[in-house]
Amino acid sequence: MSLTDILSPSDIAAALRDCQAPDSFSPKKFFQISGMSKKSSSQLKEIFRILDNDQSGFIEEDELKYFLQRFECGARVLTTSETKTFMAAADHDGDGKIGAEGIDYFNYR
């Protein structure tokens, strides 16, 4: 399964266009534009599984900086500031990684 099985390719493209400039990424806005904010918990968990590059069951900061590239190979890498802000929003227990349940609790829905 790929992200385009869950999200519209045109919505993904629009979300990526919206945050092309460094330090312009907003997780809340990205979730809204891409359509992620309208997905069910089970669909978000499937998206998480796809985004979990090493399939460890967690998304660590090193993986999170490549978040946009998981949607499109040529997308930019998140800046350090964007990555830290994104991690802080989803890492509710402060362990430096996001579990599958974390994607459902971004509070962006």
Tokens of 16: 């990526």
Given a contact cutoff of 8 angstroms between Cβ atoms, the answer to whether 109 and 70 are in contact is no
CA distance 12 to 72: 8
- As annotated, the binding site for Ca(2+) includes 52, 54, 56, 58, 63, 91, 93, 95, 97
Measure the CA–CA gap between 63 and 70, rounded to whole angstroms.
Answer: 10
Q: Which amino acids are annotated as binding site, given as ranges?
A: 52, 54, 56, 58, 63, 91, 93, 95, 97
Q: Calculate the CA dihedral of residues 107, 32, 88, 79 and round it to 10 degrees.
A: 180
